[in-house]
Amino acid sequence: MLQWKIFMVMALIGHILCGISDGFLTYAPNGKVDLTNFKDYEKSKVAFHGMPLKNLSVAMLLGVCAMTLEIFGYIALCDWMRQYSETYYLIMLIATLVMFINLALHHLFCCLVEWFFVKLNLTEEALHAVWDFFKTTCYTMYLGYLGMLVFAAAFFIAVVTGKTSLPAWACIFNLLPLAIVILPTKLPAKANVIGVIMFAGLIFLI
């Protein structure tokens, strides 16, 4: 259906915008911010020096808009699956809702953590406060990625086992196999690169 393709194009655009949003979060005037060492005050103070607050504000708004576009594509895949299996449809739909509710919150929380650290003049007290906030809200990240994993696994199994009209090889246009290939690389915004490739392939296959 044309509607499915339109929604998947929206998701592809959403992943591109979300990748740009991630860039606003991870690139500062002093170079790329190593978020794995965020709780290290000396490293974070240097990394975030000169970071414009407007970049973090744009990251918040752009990320939410991007995820709003993305969810249309994932819902379209769920709706497409429904004609083949009600069970896989329900699994994918529930996983999609869990994924996007939690990852949208996680994105906002990450933006707020950086925004307040910069707004409060990069002090050590500010870092401790925002780090505590991040630790108390990071469950949204785990729930979001769990939803993503369940969605990808259900979609992968349905295609590989012949439940759908897609050929088995089409399973490569799935978050799981693409993640195996792309995550070890040094590409920026890897999760969104994966999403773009998946929808780019599925637009022509479905």
Helix, strand or coil, per DSSP, at residue 93 = helix
| Structural domain of 17 | 2-205
In angstroms, the CA 178 to CA 150 distance is 15
How many folded domains does the chain comprise?
1
Average pLDDT over residues 172-181: 98
Confidence (pTM): 0.94
| pLDDT tens column, 141-153 | 999 999 999 999 9
| pLDDT tens column, 82-93 | 999 999 999 999
- For the cut 80, the answer to whether the pLDDT of residue 176 exceeds it is yes
Angle at 178 between CA 174 and CA 179, to 5 degrees: 115
| pLDDT tens column, 19-74 | 999 999 988 887 788 778 888 999 999 999 999 999 999 999 999 999 999 999 99
pLDDT given at position 183: 95
